[in-house]
Structure 1
Amino acid sequence: MKQWGEPPFEPELAPEAVLGQMEMAVIVCDRFSNIIHINAFAKKLFGFAGSEYIGQSVLSLGIAEEDHEQATELARHVLKGGVWEGTFCNLREDGSTIYTRAQAVPLRHPSGAIDGVAILAREALRSNQREQDRYGLLDRIGTRLAGSLELEVTLRAVADTLVPQFADHVFIDLASSDKLMRRISRHTGDWTPPPGTWPEVDEQVAYPPDHHAAKAMSRRDAVLVDLTTGLDDELGLTSMISAPLVARGQVLGVMSLGLSHLGRRTDPHYDGFDRDLVGAIAGRVALSIDNALLFEEERQTALAFQRHLLPGERPPRLDGLQIAWRYEPAKPLESHGHGIQTQVGGDWYDVIPLSAGRVGIVIGDVEGRGARAAAVMGQLRAALRAFAQDDKSPADIMRKLDEWVRTMSPADAPRPSLVSCTYFVYDAWSRELTFSNAGHSPPMLVLDGRVGELDFHSAAGAMLGVRSPGLGGDIIYNEATVTLPPGSTLVLYTDGLVERRPKDDGTYYSSEQSRLLIEEAVGRVSRSDVETVANTVFAAVPGDIDDDVALVVIRTASEELPVEERTFPSEPIMVSEARRLAAETFAAWGLHEDEAEMACLLVSEIVTNVVLHATNVPAQKRALVGAPELSFDEDDWDLGSASLGLGRPDPVKQEFRLRLRKGVGSLWVEVFDPDLRLPRIRNAGETDEGGRGLYLVDQIAARWGSRPTPDGKAVWFELPLA
């Protein structure tokens, strides 16, 4: 027997021998989480042989990928001087899975600095059916969490899996702007907490420092409490576990699970194993929540970007047209085997006021989804608006857009972005609709309650950005013109409207079936207002949309719009005749005297400019010198006129056409002539007799401009009406 004062007992075994005999895994890592020592039991526990893992990362011991974040957090916490404990899933070399309970402590140098980490681990799973079921629950949680990146769907999936199998009550509280807000409150059966028992969903939660949920967040570890003798016993609670939701080193909130007498369980109490399991579940839930929050942030950014680039909520007021439009992003997928996407795409639409009350209408779809597709859409919309202001024909605009789509693509892109698009120009006074198409679906055309399809045959073209090797890279775009009867309705849409996600019962509608459902629904409401038609079109097909949707409904006026038009010879005396026509027309339309006088003044200036500068067409050039002489009979030559002009025909007399249009809030005046030269404002000197006409128009009119026409040009101006 050892006596007092005797020298201390000296062990005969070296530390390595002691570690080698321990029935617990011991892993020693340096500050960089590289293994520098592993004992024999660790090799047995993790199913590895030899010392090939020395110098390798601790992750090489088979820690499951979903626990890598937890392992990183372990190292970070311990290297700061803390102690960490938790459960890991490990994959052994033979393919089997083992769950281990690990505790990590810092290793300190004699100077006090932390040199590394020591990890002690043992098997966490005991061989009884109850705990086997618990780990089956962990697998199901992982499967449910993998199905969605939408936060609300993620939280509901967790609650649905835990109640009632593992808990009678589940609460999930998430941090929001330095506050803790309740996001989930789920209870077994149909039980509802009495009012004032616990905070409701979307209410702020405040835990005192000694509360088990507050302790879980401060300790960053699961906390188990027995409530049998506590105050909550009045509500039937018997046991609770609170686990922090930690991701990327940040505490996102806390998850609390409770048992009570409501569950009618044989043993309504949690134990230490359950606490460890909830800690592991919380780690997975936290990672899914973090991913969902990041996804939601990206989605909201892309959606805000998309909505900012699209026109406002209210369509503009336009003469002879009723317009309704919709944009709806697809909801994130839950689990349909499609993969997870941000769902915000490049669908777009626009309505562009053009000269003389005409309107440009466009709808299109940029290939792809996310912020890049939205950015391409925004650039494309801006480019089309700029091109449209030149009053080019729809086919010309399509060619310019196609070139623009090709040149704006990144140099390293395998191919340009592909864009489907249709551009329409509608004249409400003539009811003519001119359009050109680039690979987009034809709109529905509703006439007298019958739903059909606008004929796109003669205006069909390839999608923007598609190169054609046989044509040297150029695509030919054609256009067509149709006259729409009064009260016609056009339904323009992108393919997301008819491409729907299968319903939960497996019902799936093809694009053709979806279109038939829409046509039937539109036929029933064809005489309703355009807003009702738009709502009906969007709701006609069951199921969630699988892609974002752009929808535009336009209807032509049922009544004729006021218009007056006459052609005059290009002679100075015709200026007063044109002004007289304008004065009589404006009086018949009931214009205010001041408005009519101002309009007549500008009509005189525009017509005078045409008469002075749109001169007669020059005489045809003589035949080239050396050309063969022409033979003719004297009887075939008309000497009556030829002799006066030395054998030359009289010059062709020019004409101009004056067109007056009245809308609800504007008066439009157009003057057409065959001269191809477009007018421009010039600075007239003090002694100049002319040069001030267009300057006067520019100063008085709300807008003015000129545009090419197939046989010349048109000069126009707009005056607002009171």
Structure 2
Amino acid sequence: MSGTVGRVPTPSAPSSGAPTGPGAAASGAADPSALRWADTPLGAPEQWDPAVRAVVDLVLASPVPMALLYGDDLILVYNEGYAELIGARHPGALGRPAAEVFADIWHEPGAGEVIERAYRRGEPFLEREAVLPVDRHQTGPTEPAMFTRGFSPVRDSAGRTIGVLSVAAQTTQVTRQLQSLSDFAAALSGTLTLDDVARVTLRYGLDAFGADRVSFGVDEGPAWRMVRRVRGELLDEADERLPPLWRRIPADSPVPMVVTARSGVALFTADGQPLRNSPADRHDQKIRSLAALPLRSSVVRGAVTVGYQAPHPWSPSERALLAAAAELAGQAAERARRFETQHGTAQLLQRSMLPERLPDLPRLRIAARYDPGVDGNAAGGDFYDAFVLPSGALGVVLGDVAGHDVQAAARMGQVRAALRALALTDPRPDAVLAGLDRLVASLGTESGTQELFVTVVFGVIEADQERITLASAGHPAPLIRRCRADGEPTAEYVEVLPGPPLGLGYRPRTTAVPFRPGDTLLLYSDGVVERRWQDLFAGLTGLRAAVTGASSGDPRALCAVATAAVPGATEDDVAVLAVEHAVRPSRSASMAVPAEPTAPSRVRHWMTAQLTEWRVPEAVIGGAVLCTSELTTNALLHAGTAARVEIDLSAERLLVSVADSGTRGQVTRAQTDALSSRGRGLGLIEELSDAWGTDPTVRGSTVWFEILIPPSPGS
């Protein structure tokens, strides 16, 4: 592959449930699902990239002829429908380059060039009517076959094009719907959660069928949850990325979606009132024709419905197309349910080993952030900690235990606990790391491996002495943001002798540097600055520039700035810890927010009174109260649980955070679009605040924003 496509890397994600089959090699397989994957360029299923596995699952499960043309050589992997389409070329075509399989027609117009263009340029292509003599190599004369074909590029988890998904039909059915099905399959291959699957399915139903109402529902223990889309809803581009707003439905509900999901039998109403027994609103009351199709999955029960406000005869071809779409949605929902289960377990393990709360000190403000790597489906070894020492000083640490599995997380927990115990006994950074070095060496001997790779930086902050003492074992150098006398901030890396990673006979050395009021210390893992195909120096330079240009030295804002400082995706976990030596102590207050409709109003009154008492400028109060009201509504809407609002006022800025205790996972930038005003929230926060971000926590998520305090006249 040339250009930005690049050669497909060796896959690393696990792939439970992928078809492996005991069949013979590609040249002798009679059933596509029996292909011996290890004999093909894709390799063993357990090594596949998650996106590759998703596409293969879609192809093999679909009743519509589909093929994946994989990698530089466009290796063919296809289903039984496609096998029937290519006739005698099967089974020899499985696992072979498409140019070899179709050598006699590959260079003809509309043949190989179409597929290669979709692959090289990453552009979808629809071929409405193609005459391809696919059976030319057979004995005797053959009639040219008429095809409608759709080609969509397939990308891996890192966004690289790794193949082309081909959907073909020897038919004269509407080509737009065929192309839409191909695009639908490609879109589903990139979904991870049930929210993703629902969003893609709803959009497909509205666009491909011109429907007036589409719904998607899945089982939720003793009940069901459903989400729908109605034609004409005012949704902008940001709304399309929103997590769907699910509603719960009783297990015995007469809603057609529930009836079909329970029975596994499709229902078609050409004209009537299919939703008359359970209309949610006037939109449901207007529906006269409805198709309800079950999600055929062994893990998830559910259904998809498509409805119109006018009578609509459901033709056989349309029913078949809907059945294929429901089949694809069911496979995607099954993968999503498994991912969510694994992801939730892994992230709960990861976050339970990190401190739930950081110390609250009058002159030292502390914040931290942890983001999982690209996969996000496994626990990692990055960790941070901050704790008060017996002397009153603050101990801070950030480290990285190599690996992205439960064992790495367990090792991380051992190292973190041991470091705190050592520091509470003897807080000297060199003594602490020397003790950790012996521990890691012992763990390596105990496990019979020398591959325990642990880096860590540990520091002791003495605010009264305006000093930090640091020691590092193979970890990236800490960064300090300083406020110069002229008011212009600057950032500098601390020259700490890193030494080798722990467990290799570390001989620690300490470095002491000034830490004056107005300074902020930033510790970070290598996932912040390292990017594939990029020099490490460029990442370090980008981080330093971003921290220097930050609107303030507030630690929470700097954590957000640091994680976004270097462009490009990282496959590693990211951990950041920031500590600010405040010029003056800040004032703080908090309020518990019950999960009640009147809660946002109560928050507005409380916050207005508190900020007025603190003599905050009226312009800041107005913007802060409005943003807080939006974030509070968002927390109650999405988490459905009580929340907590915290405000922290310093001479330079007002920091407000809204934390929920929900279990829906990390609140993302897209989710904040779904604030109470449905679409205005994100623009409002960005317009009225100087910085904002989201932080996942052990039990929920925190959304925060910062507004700078303008200097008073004469200051």
TM-score for both structures, normalised by structure 2: 0.51
What's the CA shift for 1:160? 2.6
Q: 2:256 and 2:368 mapped to 1: Cα distance? A: 49
Q: Quote the residue 1:460 is aligned against.
A: 498
Q: 1:485 and 1:218 mapped to 2: Cα distance? A: 66
Match status 1:258 vs 2:307: yes
Match status 1:385 vs 2:420: yes
Farther-moved stretch of structure 1 (409-418 vs 237-246): 409-418
Q: 1:426 and 1:126 mapped to 2: Cα distance? A: 69
Superposition pairs of residues 258-277 of structure 1, within 5 angstroms? 258-260=307-309, 269-277=313-321
Q: 1:294 and 1:409 mapped to 2: Cα distance? A: 33
Query: Cα–Cα, structure 1 residues 360 and 251, in superposed 2: closer, same or farther, change >3 Å?
Result: closer
578, 587, 591: which is aligned to 1:553? 578
Q: 1:132 and 1:61 mapped to 2: Cα distance? A: 34
462, 465, 473: which is aligned to 1:427? 462
CA contact (8 A) 2:58 2:185 kept: no
CA contact (8 A) 1:227 1:237 kept: no
89, 95, 100: which is aligned to 1:94? 89
421, 439, 447: which is aligned to 2:474? 439
Tell me the matched-pair count.
Answer: 431
Q: Spell out, residue by residue over 1:340-377, the C-alpha distance to the aligned partner (whole angstroms, 9 max, x if none).
A: 44265322111233332233211112223354433222
Q: Quote the residue 1:715 is aligned against.
A: none
Aligned partner of residue 418 in structure 2, secondary structure: helix
Q: Spell out, residue by residue over 1:671-716, the C-alpha distance to the aligned partner (whole angstroms, 9 max, x if none).
A: xxxxxxxxxxxxxxxxxxxxxxxxxxxxxxxxxxxxxxxxxxxxxx
Q: 1:154 and 1:221 mapped to 2: Cα distance? A: 21
CA contact (8 A) 1:343 1:548 kept: no
Match status 1:162 vs 2:190: no
Q: 1:497 and 1:345 mapped to 2: Cα distance? A: 15
Aligned partner of residue 388 in structure 1, secondary structure: helix
Aligned partner of residue 311 in structure 1, secondary structure: coil
Q: Quote the residue 1:221 is aligned against.
A: 265
Q: Quote the residue 1:143 is aligned against.
A: 186
Query: Cα–Cα, structure 1 residues 148 and 438, in superposed 2: closer, same or farther, change >3 Å?
Result: farther
502, 511, 533: which is aligned to 1:480? 511
Q: Spell out, residue by residue over 1:94-126, the C-alpha distance to the aligned partner (whole angstroms, 9 max, x if none).
A: 24999xxxxxxxxxxxxxxxxxxxxxxxxx998
Q: 2:302 and 2:340 mapped to 1: Cα distance? A: 17
Q: Spell out, residue by residue over 1:19-76, the C-alpha distance to the aligned partner (whole angstroms, 9 max, x if none).
A: xxxxxxxxxxxxxx999xxxxxxxxxxxx99xx97xx9996899x85477799xxxxx
Aligned partner of residue 130 in structure 1, secondary structure: coil
Match status 1:325 vs 2:367: yes
What's the CA shift for 1:412? 7.2
What's the CA shift for 1:453? 2.0
CA contact (8 A) 2:176 2:208 kept: no
Q: Quote the residue 1:525 is aligned against.
A: 552
CA contact (8 A) 2:466 2:516 kept: yes
Superposition pairs of residues 117-128 of structure 1, within 5 angstroms? 127-128=170-171
Q: Which amino acid aligns with 1:464?
A: L
CA contact (8 A) 2:296 2:327 kept: yes
Q: Quote the residue 1:407 is aligned against.
A: 442
What's the CA shift for 1:437? 0.9
Q: Which amino acid aligns with 1:315?
A: P
Q: Which amino acid aligns with 2:547?
A: E
Superposition pairs of residues 146-225 of structure 1, within 5 angstroms? 146-168=189-211, 169-183=213-227, 185-190=228-233, 201-206=245-250, 212-225=256-269
Q: 1:207 and 1:226 mapped to 2: Cα distance? A: 26
Q: 1:234 and 1:388 mapped to 2: Cα distance? A: 64
What's the CA shift for 1:323? 2.8
Q: 2:195 and 2:435 mapped to 1: Cα distance? A: 45
Query: Cα–Cα, structure 1 residues 126 and 235, in superposed 2: closer, same or farther, change >3 Å?
Result: farther
CA contact (8 A) 2:256 2:275 kept: no
Q: 1:295 and 1:259 mapped to 2: Cα distance? A: 34
Q: 2:469 and 2:203 mapped to 1: Cα distance? A: 56
Q: 2:449 and 2:178 mapped to 1: Cα distance? A: 46
Match status 1:244 vs 2:294: yes
Query: Cα–Cα, structure 1 residues 414 and 160, in superposed 2: closer, same or farther, change >3 Å?
Result: farther
Q: Which amino acid aligns with 1:157?
A: V
Q: Quote the residue 1:116 is aligned against.
A: none
Match status 1:296 vs 2:340: yes
User: Which ranges in structure 2 are unaligned for 5 or more consecutive residues?
Assistant: 1-20, 38-55, 64-78, 95-166, 236-243, 277-282, 586-715
Q: 1:556 and 1:392 mapped to 2: Cα distance? A: 20
CA contact (8 A) 1:212 1:225 kept: no
Q: 1:137 and 1:228 mapped to 2: Cα distance? A: 28
Q: 1:231 and 1:486 mapped to 2: Cα distance? A: 65
Q: Quote the residue 1:114 is aligned against.
A: none
What's the CA shift for 1:490? 1.2
483, 492, 499: which is aligned to 2:523? 492
Aligned partner of residue 477 in structure 1, secondary structure: coil
Structure number with greater Rg is 1
Query: Cα–Cα, structure 1 residues 88 and 297, in superposed 2: closer, same or farther, change >3 Å?
Result: same
Q: 2:273 and 2:465 mapped to 1: Cα distance? A: 86
Aligned partner of residue 340 in structure 2, secondary structure: helix
Q: Spell out, residue by residue over 1:239-281, the C-alpha distance to the aligned partner (whole angstroms, 9 max, x if none).
A: 4221112322x452111122455xxxxx954322322332232
What's the CA shift for 1:172? 0.4
What's the CA shift for 1:423? 0.8
CA contact (8 A) 1:437 1:456 kept: no
CA contact (8 A) 2:346 2:378 kept: no
Q: Which amino acid aligns with 1:247?
A: S
Query: Cα–Cα, structure 1 residues 408 and 165, in superposed 2: closer, same or farther, change >3 Å?
Result: same
Q: 1:406 and 1:326 mapped to 2: Cα distance? A: 28
CA contact (8 A) 2:271 2:312 kept: no
Q: Which amino acid aligns with 1:324?
A: I
CA contact (8 A) 1:59 1:68 kept: no
Aligned partner of residue 368 in structure 1, secondary structure: coil
Aligned partner of residue 352 in structure 2, secondary structure: helix
TM-score for both structures, normalised by structure 1: 0.51
Q: Which amino acid aligns with 2:575?
A: A
Q: Which amino acid aligns with 2:512?
A: T
Q: 1:212 and 1:293 mapped to 2: Cα distance? A: 23
CA contact (8 A) 1:328 1:549 kept: yes
Query: Cα–Cα, structure 1 residues 287 and 126, in superposed 2: closer, same or farther, change >3 Å?
Result: closer
Aligned partner of residue 296 in structure 2, secondary structure: strand
Superposition pairs of residues 622-637 of structure 1, within 5 angstroms? none
Q: 1:389 and 1:432 mapped to 2: Cα distance? A: 19
Query: Cα–Cα, structure 1 residues 452 and 343, in superposed 2: closer, same or farther, change >3 Å?
Result: farther
Query: Cα–Cα, structure 1 residues 293 and 500, in superposed 2: closer, same or farther, change >3 Å?
Result: farther
Aligned partner of residue 344 in structure 2, secondary structure: helix
Q: Identity across aligned pairs (percent)? A: 23
Q: 1:399 and 1:443 mapped to 2: Cα distance? A: 19
Q: 2:405 and 2:329 mapped to 1: Cα distance? A: 25
Q: 1:386 and 1:34 mapped to 2: Cα distance? A: 53
Q: Which amino acid aligns with 1:145?
A: L
Query: Cα–Cα, structure 1 residues 501 and 258, in superposed 2: closer, same or farther, change >3 Å?
Result: farther
Q: Which amino acid aligns with 2:414?
A: Q
Q: Which amino acid aligns with 1:479?
A: T
Q: Quote the residue 2:112 is aligned against.
A: none
Q: 1:34 and 1:272 mapped to 2: Cα distance? A: 36
Match status 1:129 vs 2:172: yes
Q: 1:154 and 1:535 mapped to 2: Cα distance? A: 29
What's the CA shift for 1:381? 0.5
Q: 2:300 and 2:547 mapped to 1: Cα distance? A: 52
Query: Cα–Cα, structure 1 residues 213 and 353, in superposed 2: closer, same or farther, change >3 Å?
Result: closer
